[in-house]
A and B are shown apart, each in its own frame.
Chain A
């Protein structure tokens, strides 16, 4: 009887395939159960939790300095921005004003992080659509940013450069030169990205009008970052609620109204250019001063609830800390952009082909460890 009921749920001629947790197009251990009718996707069910490490729970037993190192492991492509989010929350709670120098360096590092994240997005998105060459071009340029990180932070991907009150250490003396060199180099080669993929007829045919989210839907589902802005939802935290040195620079919030795969891609391409403009405005004006504010060795937040959100490469990352006055937080909650951006996948992909599902999934630029945490 039970079997029969289950069979009844499987509609006639429906073909269930299991994409992931080990599948080349899901960029990690996301599992999608896809119901197909021929090539047409009937519905998509994301199953998450394959890389759940209980980061939020672990935070409850760690000091605030230690939490930083866990946030690296959430969205590993926005590692620096995640660190910054926790630091900003703690600083806000303690009402500490960090030195100007720290603010500048944090902003530059964040924007470099954003560029390298979008470079990797471009690389893997091209690969999802079958253009394998993109992968190598994207990684070629990303390597240069990672070298800059390595010089100043010691780490390449998992940087852990921020600490409550400032930075772990000062920037390398060569930092400004390296960044300027990189900007000059990248401005010279970014047109290759457009030549190889953006202008390609096949690429445009495959991405235009696919997985459309209207502005209302984007707001209703809480899409943020380039994904939300491609639908016309003005949600850039850097613009609306500036933190660090974002109030000192002028930049454009990239907004499109179409909300399809192609414009999510374009939004990221334009953001890379905007990020370079932001760095341009800051890199020569880093003020002298200490690289950290005076902090006590043991940080105890006063009792209360604190929230701070930042703009990572994928959207709004919110950090919510409840403190009971101890050296450990009572409860930590991360509002991770990827978890929210994954939710409407079924809505977007329904009725399209399998190949479109891969393209739509790629255009959301999901990082699975950030979904599972």
Chain B
């Protein structure tokens, strides 16, 4: 077995072969699933904790503050301390709440984000399931979280929660269309829905550069619509704290609240990762045709660093406009989607189809 940080496929193939040699095929698959599950769970927790910390630091930067700086060097253990605190907080029972749905809701939200994680290509070969309808799968799974949020709002028996849940229902159902359509634009260009092939197709240039203006428009719409879909500012109407106190999770405490909180950050990571994969070449390094020396240096950086770096940059962008803009109103939010994004998107897909048909793209 040769191990390389540039290509994990031989490493994963070796694990697969040695497992299959040692036991029955069914058992081997079960063990593989377990390994992947544990690996993703660990990654999930680390990303969640890191993003909460990063958000605090970014928001402190925007707001002329220091941010967390007491627990550990630069406050890096602050989020861990917070998590430990949340674990010990009492789960306040709510009077007249629907007990089963109330406790089920956070799990649905967290499972939805967990499922999306499995289909992301982190590096060459570092890819749990390479579905041939990867893009479609990601869209389908990421919109499942809304069920949990609606349940949370309904089961809490709180008027503010219900308003928040209804808002997010309208919001996610609307913006789902924009997210889908902007991804379709790139699927038209790539000619496939398989994520590994989409990444491979960007070896000689990322889609955002190759797709002319339609790809650029699709990217802008994707990043705005997915911010709305992950329920972050300026589209955080569901938890608009100045109007609805905390929206759908007003009544949640302790670890259940932590689940909602964590899922929000993981969803942000997932949309940034999808944008990276589809528009910015996934784990592909940045190469310029003809610049040999430059390309060599770029290729030297391992693929998963590229992937996480690009994702991180997009996450910073999303955080940036959360801490800059005031919040939209619900009717403005829906107007933006149905009157502007949707028509632009449809025309955009048609233009992209035309470009692909005529072979104008690079």
Q: Are B328 and A140 in contact (CB under 8 A)?
A: no
A358 an interface residue at 8 Å Cβ cutoff?
yes
What CA separation (Å) do A205 and B241 show in the bound complex? 20
Is A196's CB within 8 Å of the partner chain B?
yes
Digitize B304-345: 1 where CB-to-A-CB distance is under 8 Å, 0 elsewhere: 000000000000000000011111111110000000000000
Q: CB within 8 A of B326: which of A36, A39, A130?
A: A130
A185 within 8 A of B: no
CB neighbours of A24 from chain B (8 A) = 241-242, 245
Q: Is the CB of A358 within 8 A of B159?
A: no
Asked whether any CB of chain A lies closer than 8 Å to the CB of B243, the reply is: yes
Q: In the complex where A353-B330, A358-B242 touch, is A131 in contact with B65 (Cβ < 8 A)?
A: no
Chain B residues positioned under 8 Å from A196 (CB to CB): 324
Q: Which residues of chain A have C-beta atoms less than 8 A from B234's C-beta? A: 130, 202
A293 within 8 A of B: no
Give the complex CA separation of A356 and B330 in angstroms.
10
- Asked if A128 contacts B329 (CB within 8 A), the reply is no
Within the complex, the shortest CB–CB distance from B169 to chain A, in Å, comes to: 13
Question: Is the C-beta of A127 less than 8 angstroms from some C-beta in chain B?
Answer: yes
Contact yes or no, B327 A130, CB < 8 A: yes
Per-position 1/0 for A1-34, Cβ under 8 A of B: 0000000000000010100000111000000000
> From residue B64, how far is it (CB to closest CB) to chain A in Å?
6
Partner pick for A126 among B240, B243, B326, B330, CB 8 A cutoff: B326
- CB neighbours of A251 from chain B (8 A): none
Residue contact B242 to A128, C-beta cutoff 8 Å: yes
Count of A-B residue pairs with CB < 8 Å: 81
A354 B63 Cβ-Cβ under 8 A:
no
For A127, list chain B residues within 8 Å (CB).
Answer: 242
Report yes or no: A25 in contact with B327, Cβ–Cβ below 8 A. no
Considering only residues 118-145 of chain A, those with a C-beta below 8 Å from chain B are: 126-133, 135-137, 140
In the complex, are the beta carbons of A202 and B327 less than 8 A apart? yes
Are the CB atoms of B332 and A205 closer together than 8 Å? Answer: yes
Asked whether any CB of chain A lies closer than 8 Å to the CB of B163, the reply is yes
Chain B residues whose CB sits within 8 angstroms of the CB of A206 once the complex forms? 326, 328-329, 332
Query: What band does the interface of chain A fall in when counting residues whose beta carbon is under 8 Å from B?
Result: 20 to 34
Min CB distance A61 to B, Å, is: 40
**Which of A15, A202, A358 is the one whose CB lies under 8 Å from B243?**
A358
Instruction: Kindly identify, within residues 124 to 168 of chain A, every residue whose CB is under 8 Å from any CB belonging to chain B.
Output: 126-133, 135-137, 140
- A136 near B242 with CB under 8 A, answer no
Contact in complex: A133, B324 (CB < 8 Å): yes
Measured between alpha carbons, how far is A17 from B159 in the docked complex, in Å? 7
- With CB as the reference atom, state the residue of chain B lying closest to A352: B329
Q: How far is the CA of A197 from the CA of B327 in the complex (A)?
A: 11
Complex contact B64–A353 (CB within 8 A):
no
Interface centre among B65, B237, B329, by most chain A C-beta atoms within 10 angstroms, is B329
CB of B160 within 8 Å of the partner chain: yes
- List residues of chain A with CB within 8 A of the CB of B163: 17, 36, 39, 354
With a cutoff of 8 Å between Cβ atoms, the chain B residues found around residue A132 in the complex are 59, 63, 323
List chain B residues, Cβ under 8 A from A356.
Answer: 329
A219 an interface residue at 8 Å Cβ cutoff?
Answer: no
Task: Indicate which residue in B64, B159, B325, B332 contacts A131 across the interface (CB closer than 8 Å).
Answer: B325
A39 contacts B64, C-beta separation under 8 Å:
no
Residues of B within 8 A of A131 (CB): 324-327
Interface bin, chain B: 20 to 34
**B236 on the interface (CB 8 Å rule)?**
yes
Q: Which of chain B's residues has its CB closest to A205's CB?
A: B332
What chain B residues lie within 8 Å of A203 (beta carbons)?
326
- Asked if residues A133 and B62 are in contact (CB atoms below 8 Å), the reply is yes
**How far apart are B48's CB and chain A's nearest CB, in angstroms?**
21
A355 is an interface residue with CB less than 8 A from chain B:
yes
Bound together, the chains give a CA A203 to CA B241 distance in angstroms of: 17
Which residue of B62, B325, B330, B331 contacts A202 across the interface (Cβ within 8 Å)? B325
Report if B233 contacts A (CB, 8 A): yes
Knowing A130-B233, A132-B323, A133-B62 are in contact, say whether A355-B329 is a contact too (CB < 8 A): yes
Closest Cβ neighbor of A210 among chain B residues: B329
Task: Kindly state the separation between the CA atoms of A203 and B234 in the bound complex, as whole angstroms.
Answer: 11
What 1/0 flags go to A340-373 for Cβ under 8 Å of B? Answer: 0000000000000111101000000000000000
- The B241-261 residues at the A interface (CB cut-off 8 A) are 241-245
Q: Which of A36, A129, A133, A202 contacts B242 (CB 8 A)?
A: A129
Q: In this complex, what residue of B is CB-closest to A124?
A: B242
Are the CB atoms of B330 and A200 closer together than 8 Å? Answer: no
Give 1 or 0 for each of A70-88: 1 = CB within 8 Å of chain B CB.
0000000000000000000
Chain A residues with Cβ below 8 Å from B328 are 202, 205-206
Are A202 and B326 neighbours in the complex by a CB distance under 8 Å?
Answer: yes
Nearest to A206 among chain B residues (CB) is: B329
Of A17, A126, A129, A135, the residue contacting B160 (CB under 8 A) is A17
Across the interface, A130 reaches (CB within 8 A) one of B63, B159, B242, namely: B242
- Digit string of B35-70 for contact with A (CB within 8 Å is 1, else 0)? 000000000000000000000000100111100000
B335 CB to closest chain A CB, in angstroms? Answer: 10
Q: List 18 A-B contacts (CB under 8 A).
A: A15-B159, A17-B163, A24-B242, A25-B242, A39-B331, A127-B242, A129-B326, A130-B234, A130-B327, A131-B325, A133-B323, A200-B326, A206-B326, A206-B328, A206-B332, A353-B331, A355-B237, A356-B329
| The 10 A-B residue pairs with the shortest CB-CB distance in the complex, in nearest-first order | A130-B327, A131-B326, A129-B326, A136-B63, A25-B242, A355-B329, A130-B326, A17-B159, A128-B242, A133-B63
- A interface residue numbers (CB < 8 A to B): 15, 17, 23-25, 36, 39, 126-133, 135-137, 140, 196-197, 200, 202-203, 205-206, 353-356, 358
- Further pairs besides A24-B242, A130-B242, A133-B323: 7, Cβ < 8 Å: A24-B241, A130-B325, A131-B326, A132-B59, A137-B64, A197-B326, A206-B326
